Amino acid sequence: MSTKWYEVLTGQLQQKKQYKEAKARLDALPEPYRSTANALNRYFLYFGGITDGDTIVQMFIDHADLWERASIDRLPLSEVVGEDPVEFAENFTQSYAGKQWIDKERARLIKAVQDAKRSEES
């Protein structure tokens, strides 16, 4: 039992460390890449709703990779995010199909309706 608890805790600590490292990479970018990447990072947290720690950490690492490469190549922001930054952010987030908060609520809703149907039949 304590081994499982320890693995959960250390896994979470490792994920937190990886997230902080990815965030530090974004903070080290030159402008305008830094402010754009940080704005997207914030949007990912609100829009994504991903609950799987490994998935969200990988998303943030890949996001940092993208912006570091864009900065090195001096790509115009429009070449990275296109004309619609919301569309870019949502497509980027959706490509990391981890478990999301809404999945739990969907399952809860389905179960509630199924239970109601069973009680109706009896």
Of 25, 22, 24, nearest to 72 (Cα)? 25
Bridge partners (DSSP) listed for residue 42? none
Averaged pLDDT of the chain: 87
| Residues 27-62 pLDDT 10s | 999 999 999 999 999 998 888 677 778 888 999 999
Residue 120: band (very low, low, confident or very high) from pLDDT cuts 50, 70, 90: confident
| Residues 2-24 pLDDT 10s | 556 555 556 688 889 999 999 99
User: What residues have CB less than 8 Å from 63, skipping those under 6 apart?
Assistant: 22, 26, 37, 40, 41, 44, 92
Q: Which domains does the chain have, with CATH numbers?
A: 2-121 (1.10.1900.10)
Task: Cite the beta strand spans of the chain per DSSP E.
Answer: none
